[in-house]
Chains A and B, each alone.
Chain A
């Protein structure tokens, strides 16, 4: 692909990437520590949601299981990077080589991602034979299996207690680099041959099969790629907080990440990132209100619990007013630059109604 041609089609990656770079820069220049903290959280969510999007957005199958890849990534990086004495003390079940070696976080991130991708490949083979709601239930089962498994596998995961002492790694720039890489990777997949074949099967499964698309194989590829990216989110999260516990990777996180995806627009990369930014902003504003604002010497604060209630109501309003997400499932385009790049809206209405 020539550079000129790539520039034509790169807007769905470039615009969201510029958006989060802008937010990170603004937080660095003007933000308090607290705000930077929230921006890092947001960037980690970008990695999670973009990773989930690679599968959900391109295949059209809703997955409840992606957060379990995040858990796999977070625990894998703990096994690889914790100080040796902590591992010997707390995790007698680890293989010997992990008792003798600990590695820096960046290579550990890649290894953790690979582990999740491998697990994804293996569990994907049965799960992705199903389609539609059956596949979604199977992914939900995966979430429960991983959560219950990890909370009872005491000798390497410490069960339901927290693992502490992970080396710090995730600062604003590290999170930003990974988030941008995630967006670029998701985009590269989406415009690749495999991405296009899978999107064809999403829009019309039968027609795609008729022209020779191996739907199962394409889904498995997307699933594995997205497991890798989501696991990176787990690694970033683990080294951001310095502590992990399995409870963090369950229904709440699944709910919020899917909500971000749907609010932005399920089948648009721009939408995935925009959804994260909007919902994070909303959470931040509500947190601030819950802390209280001073109005003429009077501290007005929302009662506890109202943050979640307000998030739920706002999300419902967005879903009611824009059922196809804020982007209406379109991708960003370059401003002021008419290109020959095809746009999904050009094909609107031609798929079979589902």
Chain B
């Protein structure tokens, strides 16, 4: 019984990490940018749910709308933020080295965090949307949160839609071509700006979905709420295999499962230090497969 609950927990957390890792992996594949600001896309999506103010009480804004409208608004908003950051910050430094790009994304992240801080103050804000989803569902003695089931179902459908998009539509094929060899794709007529903009838009969509789930799950907003998520997503992308989207998903589920498993296995005294063990596991996985679980030929240096 207990094992089933843990498995559901692990898959649900893994789904969240997989969505974050996909958002990071999509952009990395095409422009070799590790986007640290992805976590702040998630935070901005969450903050869009409430009325902008620095006061202690939280007033729902988009969060009080009927749910289809709410979800659509948050998605549109985060997509817009992602596209604006791409246009304003990442496009001008597109040809810089990966290290410069990474620091650039740090700077964007720092910028977004402090914009949130100056509008909403640094005080954490509590809110509750869709309280119905936080209720447990009891089936044959097993307690499962409805939310976990929703997270898993939504993630799987998103993965299927994304896979179809990448395999069947011409934009998807452009994107895969660009991820394989950006220069060659451009020579063959793939438009760089369009492909990168689509990648950022999808990345924003994924971030928006994550932010809604995180708010329902945690019920607390803080201006740095995206940081732990982006760290895990970043790690998931790397152990999955940088540049591979399937790898990002596998990496996300791996990190989620390792976290939940450690939570269950570690003695109480060590549980607070769980993340340290998760990251030790990360180093071990990397030593086992330095190129990640799914290795990408395009990233291997040719001599």
> Are A and B part of the same complex?
yes
Interface set of A (CB-CB < 8 Å, partner B): 62, 126-127, 129-131, 133-134, 137-138, 140-142, 144-145, 148-149, 151-152, 205-206, 251, 255, 258-259, 262, 266, 303-306, 308-309, 311-313, 315-316, 319-320, 323-324, 352, 354
Q: A134-B292, A308-B113, A354-B97 are in contact. List 17 more A-B contacts (CB 8 A).
A: A62-B102, A126-B287, A129-B287, A138-B283, A142-B283, A144-B279, A148-B274, A148-B275, A151-B272, A305-B118, A309-B114, A311-B110, A312-B110, A312-B114, A316-B107, A324-B100, A352-B301
Residues of A within 8 A of B227 (CB): 251
Measured CB to CB, the residues of B under 8 A from A are: 34, 89, 92-93, 95-100, 102-104, 106-108, 110-111, 113-115, 117-118, 227, 231, 234-235, 238-239, 242, 270, 272-276, 279-280, 282-283, 286-287, 290-292, 301, 303
Known A206-B303, A303-B118: A130·B290 in contact at CB below 8 Å:
yes
Nearest chain B CB to A89 CB, angstrom units:
23
Partner among B34, B96, B114, B283 whose Cβ is within 8 Å of the Cβ of A319: B96
Verify A149–B303 contact, CB threshold 8 A.
no
Give the docked Cα–Cα distance between A251 and B36 (Å).
12
Contact A137 B234 (CB under 8 A): yes
Contacts of B113 in A (CB 8 A): 308
Instruction: Count A-B pairs with CB separation below 8 Å.
Output: 126
> Are B93 and A319 neighbours in the complex by a CB distance under 8 Å?
yes
Query: Which of A62, A142, A255, A304 is the one whose CB lies under 8 Å from B118?
Result: A304
User: Which A-chain residue is minimally distant from B92 (CB atoms)?
Assistant: A320
Across the interface, do A144 and B93 meet the contact criterion of CB distance under 8 Å?
A: no
Residue from B98, B102, B279 in contact with A141 in the complex, judged by beta carbons closer than 8 Å = B279
Smallest distance from the beta carbon of B135 to chain A beta carbons, Å? 32
Among A137, A258, A324, point to the contact of B286 (Cβ < 8 A): A137
Q: Report, nearest first, the 3 A-B pairs whose CB atoms are least far apart.
A: A305-B118, A323-B96, A312-B111
Assembly CA distance A313 to B111 (angstroms): 7
B238 touches A134 (CB 8 A): yes
- Knowing A311-B110, A316-B107 are in contact, say whether A134-B118 is a contact too (CB < 8 A): no
Name the B residues within 8 Å of A149 (CB-CB). 273, 276
A309 partner residues in chain B, CB cutoff 8 A: 111, 114-115, 118
Contacts of A324 in B (CB 8 A): 96-97, 100
A206 nearest in chain B by CB position: B303
Contact A137 B107 (CB under 8 A): no
B97 cross-chain contacts in A, Cβ below 8 A:
323-324, 354
Q: What is the minimal beta-carbon distance from A171 to any residue of chain B, in angstroms?
A: 31
**B235 in complex: contacting residue of A62, A137, A148, A320, CB < 8 Å:** A137
Residues of A contacting B287 with CB < 8 Å? 126, 129-130
Given A130-B290, A305-B114, A311-B110: A144 in contact with B104 (beta carbons within 8 A): no
A310–B199 Cα distance when bound, in Å, is 28
B110 and A262 form a contact (CB under 8 A): no
- Contact between B100 and A319 (Cβ–Cβ < 8 Å)? yes
List, in ascending order, chain A residues with CB within 8 A of B103's CB.
Answer: 258-259, 262, 315, 319
The CA of A127 and the CA of B96, in the complex, are separated in Å by: 26
A142: which B residues are within 8 A, CB to CB? 279, 283
A315 to B66 alpha-carbon distance, docked (Å): 41
B230 CB to closest chain A CB (Å) equals: 10
Interface centre among A206, A258, A308 (most CB of B within 10 A): A308
Chain A residues with CB below 8 A from B242, complex form: 133
A140 & B118 in contact (Cβ 8 Å cutoff)? no
The answer to whether A144 touches B291, judged by C-beta atoms less than 8 angstroms apart, is no
Q: What is the chain B residue whose CB lies nearest that of A352?
A: B301
Contacting residues, chain A, for B291 (C-beta < 8 A): 134
Q: Determine the distance from Cα of A134 to Cα of B251 in the docked complex, in whole angstroms.
A: 13
Q: A138 to B282, alpha carbons, bound, how many Å?
A: 8
Residues on the B chain within 8 Å of A255, using CB: 106, 110
B contact residues around A141 at 8 Å (CB): 235, 279-280, 282-283
How far apart are the CA atoms of A134 and B290 in the complex, in Å?
7
* A315–B93 touching, CB < 8 Å: no
